[in-house]
Structure 1
């Protein structure tokens, strides 16, 4: 189990970073927000979890142990794998995910690409008591805080959103809503963050 990595950032993508550890570049899958917080050439420390499959070893990284713990916890639910767990943390903050589960907020959970009503109900059924036992207050059904990154070039933002699981139309609508605010971000990470924020409303 690789619990954390620390080293200079060699590359930053929309949903991953490459961190040099002991002369080896490790490809770490992250949320867009985590990737946006990394800068090429600067040292970063990420809490990580290694997902082992027959055909691959995949490393996922987070800003802290709280997000990593939730990433691992939601995967105890049948049908929730690492990609879906990461998508949940891309759309909502860790607190937002916990509050949605504790309050049975299916609308918030189904905003995550890949989670339908039945999937949301299963997540609530299997995790609600565990989340409540942690002292988490249920949400009141309001919007949860998105935790995401972004991109000013429409085509790149569109590609990233579709890659995260939204439809082409949903991606276009989110991009247009961001532009309609009159304050279009000029950085890749900022634009994607704003678009994801719109999708999380």
Structure 2
């Protein structure tokens, strides 16, 4: 089992990161939000799950062990394969998944592409009692500047102007709860939701 990978990020193509380890480039499937937090040429560490099938070996990578643990739990649900599990993690943070399960909110999972009503209910039933959400803290400390800067730079890289990126990052931070405030992927998800598909990008205006 390959439980983690550390090396130089050679390339990013969509949600597939190629990481060089000992002269070998390993293709690792990651979520879009995770991809936005990575930079080609930098050293990265991802926690991984190796999925072995008769005709395929696939590596799935995660920013932290919480995401990896939730991925493994999701794969244990009947009807949820690795790609569907990644789809859930692309749409929801581990805390959001835990809260949805604990509140028996299967509709949260039905919003994920590829997850139908029956599978959504199975996720809630199968994961009940297995996840603990971090309670929001009203006095939570502000995130480190580097976290905010990473979110802003990622948004600028996607085409939004600096002012829009900064506003969206600040809004995401203010609405984030608990560990989300220190998670670049979680804040990016919130910021992109705040900006919406109709936002006017600087690149598109030029």
TM above 0.5, one fold? yes
Q: Which residue of 1 aligns with 2:59?
A: 59
Q: Distance in 2 between matches of 1:106 and 1:22?
A: 43
Q: Which residue of 1 aligns with 2:183?
A: none
CA contact (8 A) 1:46 1:64 kept: yes
Measure how far apart 1:99 and its partner are.
1.1
TM-score of the aligned structures, taking structure 1 as reference length: 0.68
Secondary structure at 1:180 match in 2: coil
Structure 1 runs not aligned, ≥5 long? 138-148, 153-173, 188-201
Larger gyration radius, structure 1 or structure 2: 2
Q: Distance in 2 between matches of 1:2 and 1:46?
A: 11
Report the RMSD for the aligned CA atoms in angstroms. 2.6
Q: Distance in 2 between matches of 1:7 and 1:86?
A: 22
Q: Which residue of 1 aligns with 2:11?
A: 11
Secondary structure at 2:47 match in 1: strand
Q: Distance in 2 between matches of 1:135 and 1:10?
A: 35
1:180 paired with 2:198, answer yes
**What is the total number of aligned residue pairs between the two structures?**
152
Q: Distance in 2 between matches of 1:20 and 1:100?
A: 37
CA deviation string 1:18-44 (max 9, x = no partner): 000000000000000111111111000
CA contact (8 A) 1:87 1:113 kept: yes
Q: Which has the higher contact order (CA 8 A, sep 6+)?
A: 1
Measure how far apart 1:128 and its partner are.
1.2
Matched ranges for 1:33-112 at <5 A: 33-112=33-112
CA deviation string 1:73-93 (max 9, x = no partner): 111111111000000000111
TM-score of the aligned structures, taking structure 2 as reference length: 0.67
Secondary structure at 1:50 match in 2: strand
Change (3 A) 1:186 1:128: farther
Q: Which residue of 1 aligns with 2:120?
A: 120
Q: Distance in 1 between matches of 2:31 and 2:198?
A: 25
